[in-house]
Chain A
Amino acid sequence: MAILSVEQALDPVSALLSLQNELERFMRNPAFEMGVSGYGVYPPINIFDSAEGATIVAEIPGLDPAKLEVVGQGHTLTFSGERSFSANGNGWHRRELSEGQFSRSVQLPDDYDVTRAEARYEAGLLIVRVPRAEHAKPRQITVQTA
């Protein structure tokens, strides 16, 4: 069920288009129980599933990685941080970029093991991978013959 599997390598244009369509299809998916803080809280997040587990991606550009904190507790992941600009004065022509503090929690289903989560900050994206819990891994069931 992987999106962007084969055509990815062949055609980057249609890869982006099919990714956009997939993301649109699951926009604020009501079937996914969000828990503590939902849509509208900064930063916006996308949650994915794969063979290995869940991947949470948040768009948080311009952070000092030292000011980004990710905490896992129980089934809840919390990430918080701060973005600030040092320029002062009256030379602003435009000031559209978000500034300030944020904190957001995401509650994951029992199927994922938050204690083994790994996070990285790359190109302004916070990417947290949460492996599937042992009890939720698919098992091959042997069919016995009489």
Chain B
Amino acid sequence: MAETKEITTREKQQLSTSQEQTRPGRYYVPAVNIYEFDDTLKLWADMPGVKESDVDIMLKDGVLTLTGKLGTDMYAGLRPLYTEYNVGNYYREFALNEDIDESRIKATLRNGVLELDLPKKEHAKPRRIEVRSS
């Protein structure tokens, strides 16, 4: 087994779009892991500081949009002394190649990580085709 490596710090990536957002302020692009299983696509997105009620997931015309709004309540009364990262809302879009069954999408938010289960539609599942010899 490989030795456990040390985590390195990644700069948070700020969202850059050609269009301007209507709300002022910074948006960040959440880092994701995506894993494909035979019948489903699993996605994990880091959204530290976001509460369950402030996550929005949308699938339209094959485009999956993830939005996380950051609450600022916990910062009330706090005065910064030293900072290393900034905070903001999260936003990221993906074009899905697979046909996803929208009605069965499941999402959970745990410890600041959004976990998405995107089940494939029946016809999009891989099927083993047997080769018959004559």
A residues contacting B by CB (< 8 A) are: 1-5, 8, 12-17, 19-20, 22-29, 32, 34, 39-51, 54-55, 57, 59-63, 65, 82-85, 87, 89, 91-102, 121, 123-125, 127
* Smallest Cβ-Cβ distance to B114: which chain A residue: A61
Q: Is the CB of B88 within 8 A of A48?
A: no
B5: A residues at CB distance < 8 A: 99-101
Q: Is the CB of B85 within 8 A of A46?
A: yes
Q: Is the CB of B85 within 8 A of A55?
A: no
Query: How many chain B residues touch the partner (CB < 8 A)?
Result: 51
B80: A residues at CB distance < 8 A: 3, 22-23, 25-26, 29, 46-49
The residue that B48 contacts in the complex, of A27, A54, A96, A124, with Cβ under 8 A, is A124
Query: Given A42-B8, A87-B35, A100-B7, A4 and B72 touching (CB < 8 A)?
Result: yes
The residue that A101 contacts in the complex, of B4, B37, B73, B84, with Cβ under 8 A, is B4
Judge if B134 is at the interface, Cβ distance under 8 Å.
no
A98: B residues at CB distance < 8 A: 7-8, 10, 31
Q: Is the CB of B89 within 8 A of A55?
A: no
The residue that A93 contacts in the complex, of B10, B36, B87, with Cβ under 8 A, is B36
**A102 to B85 Cα, complex, angstroms:** 17
Q: Is the CB of B32 within 8 A of A3?
A: no
* Smallest Cβ-Cβ distance to B11: which chain A residue: A44
